[in-house]
Structure 1
Amino acid sequence: MTDAQNTSTHSGFIAIVGKPNVGKSTLLNNMLGVKVAPITNRPQTTRRGIRGILTEDNSQIVFVDTPGMHKAKDALGKYMNEEIQAALSDVDAILWIVDLRHPPTEEDVMVSRTIKDIDKPLIVVGNKLDAAKYPEEALRLYTNLLGEREFGTRTLSAQEHPESLLDLKLQLFSLLPENPFFFDEKSRSDQSRENWAAEIIREEAMKRLEEELPYAVATRVTDWEDRPDGIIEIYCDVIVERPGHKAIVIGKGASKLKEIGQGARKQLEVFLNTKIFLKLHVKVMPNWREDPEALRQLGYE
């Protein structure tokens, strides 16, 4: 083997798709060993395509974590589904994450119809194996939706078994074409620090708000200052649709907003390894989920 062959690099884009709340972001974060995507037990936590970057030796995978595919009820939902289509338009392979605890739903059928005619390597990943009563039967029901399309399969529990993630990672590396690296070897995501922090703050809000309100909340970091004493100051708008929502997010005596802020600050301090001064400001942006201009201002474009 020549020196040129020894030093050649392989890299490519791999889309992670599936219905809402099936474990896509958990899989991505665990694969990278660092948190780049928000995680809650609520569906539709991921709203935009997030790229996570895994580089080892001469190989680099650029994962594209997509929003959960669902029936869009507003302009935000339409944007999220368009993010999935955009992610699939130029990738080297596809991971379809399915929930082995349950048979396919209408949303799973939507995913299968979207990916079955895309001529790229496909791996169907049956997730939540440990909690599944009939995993083999469930996986067969999912793969039957693909008809004659070629695919590979794996089963795992993204949170429980790191060795199964290692096997999947090695399989994905084998699918990469010969390319130069698309990102610096030390990069873990293509997000700006502001967008990443805003997603951490929105995650904490979604965890703590009830009923439909979490889906009417957006976050936007408006200022970031690295102080000489090492403390980072972050100012973030928490966007809601109605004045009544604002009162709920703030809570009695600002208790709910403090709770959200404390949870977000703790996460940020762990990941950034420094003290954080976090200031949250709740603003009303009427019907922002239906307003294309508001969506643009909030980065959903």
Structure 2
Amino acid sequence: MVALVGRPNVGKSTLLNALIGYRLSIVTPRPHTTRHRILGIATRPEGQILYVDTPGLHRGAKHAMNRSLNRAAHQAIAEVDVAVQVVEAGRWGDEDAAVYAALGERAVPRLLAVNKVDDLRDKAQLLPFVAGVVAQHPFDEVYFVSALKRQGLDALEQGILARLPQRAPLYGEEEITDRSERFLAAELVREQLMLRLQDELPYATTVEIEQFQDRADGVAEIHAVIWVEREGQKAIVIGAGGERLKAIGSGARKTMERLFERRVFLRLWVKVREAWTDDEAALRQFGYTD
């Protein structure tokens, strides 16, 4: 098993999707988009790789939600055979150093994936940047990649395969995750919330699937509740005349149909549960568990 770890917004989810060749983890420009450990399965002739996309490790975890995200990331590190720390080309800060320190909890191979190299205008900066990083934070190997443009991934994958223990495959060749369609449906609605809502509101929302069933006509009927923390937030999510909620539902439904490979009938409701992000019982209800 391979953990993809890093501070928020370095491209871990985009990298996971690129490595398995499937759009599994939701991706938005916002930090803290990933809230759960996501297992992605890549089966190759040389072997099967189980990638774990983790929430971004961050400091100042004041709320129960933030502590839950950090716990999920730390637990993923504790279970893996190889750790890949993802950083942004040209950027290494205190949060990156904190992620490196967290990797010290396990004596496993550490690989450094320098992502977004295509965004760095002066490529001559790459080698001095990496030299400065590894001088104080040694890694077994360094790889330069662009997850978005799928560059440098073959070398990274081969480096991972060379360091994994030999075991029998745990999953079939066609399987890409252990997550259910029900879970993925909730994530795809939340992705639209992250993309379409401004400021801090997306972080006050979560999604719970109340019904997921395949009808006799082959359509997947999905009923989902969008939970917010205040009545004012509910009005914002719904929008004038319900237009924003319709747009969220339409965007999520189209993505679900591509992922699930069948038609989807999606119904959304918006409900209020005050301060759910700092309520341990609510977090368990909504699936934020270790």
- TM bin, normalised by shorter chain, reads over 0.9
The 10-residue stretch of structure 1 (134-143 or 66-75) with the greater mean CA deviation from structure 2? 134-143
Corresponding residue for residue 131 of structure 1:
119
Q: Which deviations, in whole Å up to 9, do the C-alpha atoms of 1:88-109 show, x marking residues without a partner?
A: 1121100000001x43122112
The 10-residue stretch of structure 1 (180-189 or 80-89) with the greater mean CA deviation from structure 2? 180-189
Residues in 2 aligned to 1:20 and 1:50: alpha-carbon distance in whole angstroms: 15
Residues in 1 aligned to 2:144 and 2:96: alpha-carbon distance in whole angstroms: 17
Corresponding residue for residue 134 of structure 2:
143
Q: Which deviations, in whole Å up to 9, do the C-alpha atoms of 1:239-292 show, x marking residues without a partner?
A: 111111101000010011011111101111112222111101111111011000
Residues in 2 aligned to 1:151 and 1:116: alpha-carbon distance in whole angstroms: 13
Residues in 1 aligned to 2:3 and 2:166: alpha-carbon distance in whole angstroms: 18
Corresponding residue for residue 154 of structure 2:
166
- One-letter amino acid of the structure 2 residue matched with residue 153 of structure 1: V
Residues in 1 aligned to 2:105 and 2:220: alpha-carbon distance in whole angstroms: 47
User: Structure 1 unaligned runs (5+)?
Assistant: 1-12
Corresponding residue for residue 289 of structure 1:
277
Residue 49 of structure 1, aligned match among 9, 17, 37: 37
* 2:108 aligned with 1:108: no
Corresponding residue for residue 194 of structure 2:
206
* 2:123 aligned with 1:155: no
1:1-301 alignment to 2 at 5 Å? 13-57=1-45, 59-71=47-59, 72-100=61-89, 102-116=90-104, 118-132=106-120, 133=122, 134-146=125-137, 149-162=138-151, 164-301=152-289
> TM-score, normalised on structure 2?
0.95
Q: Aligned to 2:108, what secondary structure does the other structure show?
A: coil
Backbone CA RMSD of aligned residues: 1.3
1:150 CA displacement: 4.3
Residues in 2 aligned to 1:145 and 1:245: alpha-carbon distance in whole angstroms: 45
Conserved? CA contact 1:20–1:69, under 8 Å: yes
Residues in 2 aligned to 1:278 and 1:23: alpha-carbon distance in whole angstroms: 29
Residues in 1 aligned to 2:139 and 2:250: alpha-carbon distance in whole angstroms: 48
Percent identity (aligned) = 38
Q: Aligned to 1:120, what secondary structure does the other structure show?
A: coil
Report how many aligned residue pairs link the two structures: 285
Residues in 2 aligned to 1:161 and 1:51: alpha-carbon distance in whole angstroms: 19
1:58 CA displacement: 5.2
Residues in 2 aligned to 1:184 and 1:165: alpha-carbon distance in whole angstroms: 23
- One-letter amino acid of the structure 2 residue matched with residue 185 of structure 1: E
Residues in 2 aligned to 1:235 and 1:296: alpha-carbon distance in whole angstroms: 20
Q: Which deviations, in whole Å up to 9, do the C-alpha atoms of 1:116-167 show, x marking residues without a partner?
A: 4531111100000011132223323333441xx44210001111144x2122
1:39 CA displacement: 0.3
- One-letter amino acid of the structure 2 residue matched with residue 94 of structure 1: A
- One-letter amino acid of the structure 2 residue matched with residue 154 of structure 1: Y
Q: Aligned to 1:89, what secondary structure does the other structure show?
A: helix
User: Structure 2 unaligned runs (5+)?
Assistant: none
> TM-score, normalised on structure 1?
0.91
Q: Aligned to 2:79, what secondary structure does the other structure show?
A: coil
The 10-residue stretch of structure 1 (136-145 or 108-117) with the greater mean CA deviation from structure 2? 136-145
